[in-house]
């Protein structure tokens, strides 16, 4: 492994502020940002700034009230209503122009909450930070139900299999949907999971009876008002040679539910990519072992093994709060691994020189686990053995 491209947490001795140590002014600023962001994300039937008629998400109103109070305190003009907050502040102004006191490591400069009438990636992450939506999704309804049922059946690999399936398939034609429902006949619940993961394709998602699927991230794309389609996912948006969309017949088709796209399929993409790259170097890669205790464990025939959590976040400041404790499994455990890695996709690091510094500075979990290394996906793959025939990606031991 090349020392200069590996960031061992133990080498970094900063003891910067952690979540609970923030000043009350910073906390107040973060609460406003989180409330407004989750209000924007939570608005149902979002049809862009111009058609803002739906009942506003409650947190948008709460965010407005608190922001207005802060404005009054510092003698600035406050937003005059939700419409003004959304149309002028969220769509038109970068957050650094708001009168909020925020930690410099939050890197809000030039960041807007709405871009082209849609919540930005910055907005999505602050919404998650506010309501703990990831764990909400995980702990609530479908994801939790699938986890619990898989555990109850003694078949934790079914949870991993479901996760892998929805990550790779955003739209299913009628035949593919039927096949998906019948894929695990001995577990009748599986068909129900598929029914609840995939809903009918709504008409506003279609252009002349077809639905577009991004050629890179493989998620469905909502067309713009002029009927054009361009994927808004951050990584797709910045790719110059983005492949064109694949068009699928919408008749009788099903599409992955939006919250599963956002919180399961999109984060799952870099996880599955990494699994495939490690398998290409001869590893046997187990995805989501022990009901998601880690994203993957890769083992090579010579005994080398790694346990990996992949975190694909724009903001290292917000990611720092979500790093978990890596499980330690004994030698006899089928998922035992020698070394733990927190992997950040290389393009996140390339776009932000301070990424790792901020991440380590704000993560108590990383400081408490000096044996866990933070690396880019490329560096991890480059540091692993490349042995013999191509391995495999599997969902169980």
- Report the nearest approach of Zn ion to the CB of residue 210 (Å): 17
Smallest distance, Zn ion to C-beta of residue 318, A: 22
Using CB under 5 A as the binding criterion, the count of chain residues that bind Zn ion stands at 6
**Alpha-carbon span 262 to 373, nearest angstrom:** 27
Out of 233, 264, 283, 310, the only residue in the binding site for Zn ion (CB under 5 A) is 233
Q: What residues numbered 16-55 form the site for Zn ion, per CB under 5 A?
A: none
Instruction: Name residue, tokens 């398939």.
Output: 169
Q: Which of 243, 236, 310 has its CA nearest to residue 275?
A: 310
123-131, 223-231, 361-369, 381-389 -> range binding Zn ion (CB under 5 A): 223-231
Using alpha carbons, select from 199, 128, 206, 139 the residue that is nearest to residue 166: 199
Nearest to 294 by CA among 276, 317, 273, 271: 271
Q: Does 222 bind Zn ion (CB under 5 A)?
A: no
Q: Given its phi and psi angles, is residue 117 left (phi above 0), alpha (psi -120 to 50 degrees) or beta? A: left
Among 36, 129, 158, 231, binds Zn ion (CB under 5 A): 231
Secondary structure of residue 391 in the 3-state scheme: coil
Residue 236 lies near Zn ion (rule: CB under 5 A): yes
In whole angstroms, the minimum distance from the beta carbon of 237 to Zn ion comes to 8
Q: Which is nearer to Zn ion, 80 or 246 (CB)?
A: 246
Contact 59, 38 (CB under 8 A): yes
Residue 217's SS3 state is coil
194 binds Zn ion (CB under 5 A): no
Closest distance to Zn ion from the beta carbon of 122 (Å): 18
Near Zn ion by CB under 5 A, which window of 23-31, 161-169, 230-238, 309-317?
A: 230-238
Taking a C-beta distance cutoff of 8 angstroms, is the pair 167, 264 a contact?
Answer: yes
For the CB of residue 205, give the shortest distance to Zn ion in the complex, in Å.
15
**Residue with smaller CB distance to Zn ion, 235 or 335:** 235
Sign of the torsion angle spanned by Cα atoms 256, 259, 261, 264: negative
| Cβ nearer to Zn ion, comparing 236 with 336 | 236
Q: Is 363:313 a contact under the CB 8 Å cutoff?
A: no
Site for Zn ion in 318-347 (CB under 5 A): none
Residue 212, strand partner residues: 221, 247
Using the 8-state DSSP alphabet, how is residue 243 labeled?
P
Q: Which of 28, 217, 250, 253 binds Zn ion (CB under 5 A)?
A: 217
**Binds Zn ion (CB under 5 A): choice among 129, 214, 274, 287:** 214
What's the CA gap between 277 and 345, in Å, rounded? Answer: 13
Q: Does 256 bind Zn ion (CB under 5 A)?
A: no
Output the smallest distance, CB 179 to Zn ion, in A: 25
Least Cβ distance, residue 240 to Zn ion (angstroms): 14
**Contact positions vs Zn ion (CB under 5 A):** 214, 216-217, 231, 233, 236
């Amino acid at each position: 492994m090349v020392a200069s491209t590996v960031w061992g947490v133990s080498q970094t001795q900063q003891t910067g502020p952690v979540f609970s140590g923030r000043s009350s002014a910073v906390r107040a600023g973060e609460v406003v940002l989180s409330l407004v962001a989750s209000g924007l994300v939570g608005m149902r039937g979002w049809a862009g700034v111009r058609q803002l008629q739906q009942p506003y998400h409650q947190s948008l109103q709460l965010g407005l009230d608190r922001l207005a109070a802060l404005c009054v305190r510092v003698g600035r003009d406050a937003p005059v209503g939700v419409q003004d907050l959304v149309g002028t502040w969220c769509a038109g102004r970068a957050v650094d122009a708001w009168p909020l006191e925020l930690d410099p490591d939050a890197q809000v400069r030039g960041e807007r909450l709405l871009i082209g009438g849609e919540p930005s990636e910055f907005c999505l992450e602050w919404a998650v930070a506010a309501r703990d939506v990831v764990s909400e999704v995980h702990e609530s309804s479908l994801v939790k139900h699938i986890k619990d049922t898989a555990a109850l059946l003694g078949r934790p690999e079914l949870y991993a299999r479901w996760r892998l399936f929805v990550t790779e398939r955003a739209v299913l034609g009628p035949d593919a949907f039927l096949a998906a429902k019948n894929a695990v006949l001995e577990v009748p619940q599986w068909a129900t999971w598929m029914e609840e993961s995939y809903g009918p394709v709504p008409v506003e998602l279609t252009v002349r009876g077809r639905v577009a699927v991004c050629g890179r991230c493989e998620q469905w794309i909502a067309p713009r008002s002029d009927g054009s389609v361009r994927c808004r996912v951050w990584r797709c948006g910045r790719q110059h040679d983005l492949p064109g969309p694949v068009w699928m017949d919408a008749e009788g088709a099903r599409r992955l539910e939006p919250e599963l796209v956002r919180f399961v399929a999109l984060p799952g993409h870099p996880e599955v990519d990494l699994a495939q790259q490690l398998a290409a170097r001869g590893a046997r890669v187990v995805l989501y072992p022990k009901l998601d205790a880690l994203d993957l464990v890769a083992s090579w025939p010579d005994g080398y093994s790694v346990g990996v959590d992949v975190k694909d976040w724009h903001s290292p400041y917000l990611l720092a709060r979500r790093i978990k404790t890596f499980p330690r499994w004994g030698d006899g455990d089928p998922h035992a691994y020698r070394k733990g890695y927190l992997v950040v996709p290389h393009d996140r690091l390339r776009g932000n020189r301070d990424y790792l510094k901020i991440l380590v500075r704000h993560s108590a979990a990383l400081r408490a686990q000096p044996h866990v290394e933070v690396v880019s996906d490329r560096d991890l793959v480059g540091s692993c053995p490349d042995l013999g025939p191509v391995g495999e990606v599997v969902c169980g031991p």
